[in-house]
Structure 1
C-alpha cells in the first residue's frame, strides 16, 4: 500500500516532469561509468553525492523532496532489481576547494562505485579566478583517480534573470562559461557530466524556473526536474 508521503512524492515528480523536458540527453557518459555498470549488473549501486547546498538540499520544503532522495528513488524506479544507495555529503557554501579537500576521506569512509561532484556555482558567485577553480578541480581529480571510482560532474545552476538581488544579477554568463569548461574537462578526462545549466533554460513551465524565493536555491519542482533528468540520463547510461 502506497503511503501518503510516497504518493505526494510521486505526484510532485509527475507534475515536474510535465512542466520540464525530461530527457536522457542531459547526461553525457564520456566513455566512463564502467564500474557503475558492473555494480548495476551485480544488483547494488552505491553513489556518493558531493558538493554544496543544492546537494545538501537547501530550499526543499521537506528532506525527501531534495535532489539526493529523489535521485535515489528515480534510479531505483528505472533500474528494477537494483538496490541503489545515494549518500548525501553536500555542505552548503562549499567551493571546489573545500570539496576537493575532503574527497579522499569521504570516498574511504563510504566506498562508493560512483561519485557525483556538483561544483562551480559558489566559485563563480564569489568571483574566484577560473585558474584557481580548476587547480582545485585537478586536486580533486587526483583523489578520485587514486580511488578508482567513476565520476559524474554536475555543472552550475542558472539564476533568475529578473533577480532583485544585486549579488546575483548578471551572473549567468559566468555560470554558463563554468558549465562549458566543466563539460570540456569531463570529455577530456572521461568523467560523465550532467548539463544542469543548459537543462534549466527549458524550465519555463516551472514556477520561478525551478528556483526558490531567495533566487538561489532550487524549489521542490526544481529539485524534482533536476533529479528526473539526472536519473533518466544516468540510468540510460548504466543499463
Structure 2
C-alpha cells in the first residue's frame, strides 16, 4: 500500500515544480555564495522533524552524518573544502557559534539507494549522529531502476533510521542540463522529477525533513554552466556553493 501511494506521487512532481518559491538574498559569510544564486526559503520542509537536533544544539554539540553518492562525496569540486559537506558544516557553525557542529562526509560516488541503505546502520553505529542528511535517487534513475525499487529500498533505510532514533533530512536528485551532449542523460529530468516528487511525499509520510534540490536548480541558469561541471552530471564550485547556501538557510531556520 505504501509503495503504491509513493508511485502515485509520480503524477505530481511537475505541479510541485510549478509552485512559486520566494527568493531572497543570503547573509551567509562562512563561504562565498555566488551573487547569481537564488536562495529559496520555501524549498526546505521541516515536516515536524528535527527535535533531537534542536536538543543537541541546546546541549552544545550537534553531529550530522551525510550519506549518499558523488554529490555528497564532493566529486566535481576543485578542492575538498569547496564541496557541499564542508560548506554546510561551515555555514552551520556560523549560524550556531555557541555549539560544536560536525558534519561527517560519508558520500560514496556511484551509490544507489540500496547501496547506501546496505551500509547505513554501520555508519550510524560508527558516528552516532543526531541528524542524517540522506541524498538519494539520482543514480537509481540513471541506471534505469524502478521507482518502486527506490521506495522499497527507502523503506529499509527508514527502519534503520527510526530504530536509531535520529533526525533525518532527505535530499532529492539534481537536475541535469537540458542541452547535454551525453546521450545517456537526455530525457532523464522527467524521471528525476518523478523521484523528487516521491521523496517529498516520503518525507511528509515519515515526518522527515526534506531539502529539495531538483526544483531550485531550475533557478540556477545564471550560475556558470547552470552550476554543473563539464561532465553534465557533477556540480561545479558555484553549484556546490549555491546548494550548500540553500541547505544552510533552510536547515538553520528550522533549527532555531
TM bucket normalised to smaller: over 0.9
CA contact (8 A) 2:31 2:87 kept: no
CA contact (8 A) 1:118 1:156 kept: yes
- Residue equivalent to 1:233: 250
How many angstroms does 1:204 deviate by? 1.1
- Kindly tell me the number of residue pairs found equivalent between the two proteins: 229
For residues 72-104 of structure 1, the C-alpha deviation after alignment (integer angstroms, 9 at most, x for no partner) is 001111122121100000000000000010111
CA contact (8 A) 2:47 2:209 kept: yes
CA contact (8 A) 1:35 1:149 kept: yes
Matches for 1:188-207 after TM superposition, within 5 Å? 188-207=205-224
- Residue equivalent to 2:65: 48
Equivalent of residue 13 in structure 1, options 18, 32, 36? 32
TM-score (norm 2): 0.87
Equivalent of residue 102 in structure 1, options 119, 132, 137? 119
- Residue equivalent to 1:123: 140
Q: Unaligned 5+ residue runs, structure 2? A: 1-27
RMSD: 1.3
TM-score (norm 1): 0.93
Q: Name the SS of the counterpart of 1:153 in structure 2.
A: strand
- Residue equivalent to 1:152: 169
Q: Name the SS of the counterpart of 1:13 in structure 2.
A: coil
Tell me, in whole angstroms, the C-alpha distance in 2 between the residues paired with 1:115 and 1:200.
22
Tell me, in whole angstroms, the C-alpha distance in 1 between the residues paired with 2:79 and 2:105.
15
- Residue equivalent to 1:80: 97
Tell me, in whole angstroms, the C-alpha distance in 1 between the residues paired with 2:162 and 2:222.
39
Tell me, in whole angstroms, the C-alpha distance in 1 between the residues paired with 2:129 and 2:31.
29
Matching of residue 68 in structure 1 with residue 113 in structure 2? no
Tell me, in whole angstroms, the C-alpha distance in 2 between the residues paired with 1:223 and 1:25.
19
- Residue equivalent to 2:238: 221
Q: Unaligned 5+ residue runs, structure 1? A: 1-8
CA contact (8 A) 2:46 2:209 kept: yes
How many angstroms does 1:22 deviate by? 1.2
Q: Name the SS of the counterpart of 2:72 in structure 1.
A: helix
